[in-house]
Every structure is written in structure tokens, then in C-alpha cells.
């Protein structure tokens, strides 16, 4: 079965607020994690990644947190904008060099309310 | 533009037919992938191809076969299409395994 999952299928936030999207993974051998954003009719778009030797990484308006103790990954989006509306996926690589592709979670649909 | 491009964007065909989806990347990446996204948006790896090494997800029927004429292309051939093959198929590439993957915009396959 899948080893990456998300706690909420839909997350609704007010424009300007911060968004937090959570993800749980079950494989302790995973060493690389990515967050993707998918808009309707488009392919997944890379947002940010983090490797297992780190617990936090920041990008432009986004932060990824990795808690290996409880196998939890989160994506924080600051000052959410209408353009942030999309489905967000966490994905993990199960180690072994990564040639076997990514395992994706089910996705969280982020809805921005005006 | 540098990108991962797939053709066609839409493919409608009848059960039992054989079809191909093409994928090209001009990012200079060494590894390419095919994913299937079902109606519930669940993305699942089908194949990865790196330095002529093909890794196949064991759940993929052998009616599906990837073919790579060169490092920049990984095409997907599907024989004897079935209703359950209806999905969106995404091609992706990465510079090396275990690095960010860049996705095409998908091919929506509909089987009548």
C-alpha cells in the first residue's frame, strides 16, 4: 500500500492567512521528500524539497518541516494568495538511490477564500 | 522553453486498440519516469529509466512498455487498451535519481 498520506483532503483558508498542509509517511528508510503543487489541467509543479539530514528548509513564502521521530512532513505557505489554490502533494523517495520513482500521498485541495 | 513535453494532450480511443504517448525533455536530465494519475488524483509510479536501466513497478501490466530512443525521450506504448487504463499519464524527468522531478502537463487517455 501507499506509505505517504495526508491528514485532510481539503483545506480552506482566508486570503492573507498562513496555510499549513500536513503529511504522514510510514517508511523510516525514506531519505528525500518533496512537495508538489498541481493546478487543474497541469502537471505537478515542484515547490520545495528536503532531505532526511535536515528538519527545516525555507523557500520563497514556503517552509517545509520534517519530523523524523513521528514521520511527519508539513508545508507552510505564508500570506496565502488566490494563486495558491491547487492540490498539494507530498512525495517521498524510499531510498536506494531513487531510481524507483517517488511515492505520492493522496493530495490536499487548498481553497482560498476572499 | 525548457520543459518536459508530452503528446498528445488528449487521447480518445476504443478498447482493444494500441496507442503510444510521446515524451521529450530538453532539460539535459538523465532519468525519466512515467506516472499514472487516476480519477481520485492518486499518482503512482509506473516506470523509471536511467542510463538504459529500466525499473518497472510490479503492478503495471505488461501491456505497457516504455521505449527510450535516446536520453531525451521516453515514450509509452500501450497494447490492447482496457477501460481501466483511462487516466491521466504524466511523464517526468530529473537530473539524477533522488533529485527534483519535473513533470509534463499530462496526457488524458479515455477508453470508449
Q: How far, CA to CA in Å, does A105 sit from each of A16, A45, A77, A93, B74?
A: 26, 15, 18, 12, 25
Chain B positions in Cβ-Cβ contact with residue A106 (cut-off 8 Å): 40-42
**Residues B96-111 pLDDT 10s:** 878 899 999 999 999 9
Query: Which of A55-64, A94-103, B58-67 bottoms out in mean pLDDT, i.e. has the lowest?
Result: A94-103
Q: Give pLDDT, residue A99.
A: 56
Q: Is A108 on the interface with B (CB under 8 A)?
A: no
**Residues A23-52 pLDDT 10s:** 998 788 888 999 999 999 999 999 999 999
Task: Compare all CA atoms of chain B with the CA of A109 and give the residue at the minimum distance.
Answer: B41
Q: Give pLDDT, residue A1.
A: 33
Cα(first)–Cα(last) distance of chain B, in Å? 34
Average pLDDT in chain A:
89
Amino acid at each position: 500500500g501507499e506509505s505517504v498520506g495526508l491528514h485532510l483532503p481539503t483545506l480552506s483558508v482566508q486570503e492573507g492567512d498562513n496555510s499549513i498542509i500536513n503529511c504522514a509517511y510510514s517508511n523510516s528508510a525514506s531519505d528525500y521528500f518533496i512537495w508538489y503543487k498541481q493546478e487543474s489541467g497541469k502537471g505537478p509543479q515542484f515547490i520545495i524539497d528536503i532531505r532526511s539530514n535536515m528538519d527545516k528548509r525555507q523557500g520563497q513564502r514556503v517552509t517545509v518541516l520534517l519530523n523524523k521521530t513521528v514521520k511527519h512532513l508539513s508545508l507552510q505557505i505564508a500570506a496565502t494568495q488566490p494563486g495558491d489554490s491547487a492540490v498539494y502533494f507530498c512525495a517521498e523517495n524510499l531510498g536506494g538511490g531513487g531510481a524507483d520513482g517517488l511515492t505520492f500521498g493522496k493530495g490536499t485541495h487548498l481553497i482560498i477564500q476572499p | 522553453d525548457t520543459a518536459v513535453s508530452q503528446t498528445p494532450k488528449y487521447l480518445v480511443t476504443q478498447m482493444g486498440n494500441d496507442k503510444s504517448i510521446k515524451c521529450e525533455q530538453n532539460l539535459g536530465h538523465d532519468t525519466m519516469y512515467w506516472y499514472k494519475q487516476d480519477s481520485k488524483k492518486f499518482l503512482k509510479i509506473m516506470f523509471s529509466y536511467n542510463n538504459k536501466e529500466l525499473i518497472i513497478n510490479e503492478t503495471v501490466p505488461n501491456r505497457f512498455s516504455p521505449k527510450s530512443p535516446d536520453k531525451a525521450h521516453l515514450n509509452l506504448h500501450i497494447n490492447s487498451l482496457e477501460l481501466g487504463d483511462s487516466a491521466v499519464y504524466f511523464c517526468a524527468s530529473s537530473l539524477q535519481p533522488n533529485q527534483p522531478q519535473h513533470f509534463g502537463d499530462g496526457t488524458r487517455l479515455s477508453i470508449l
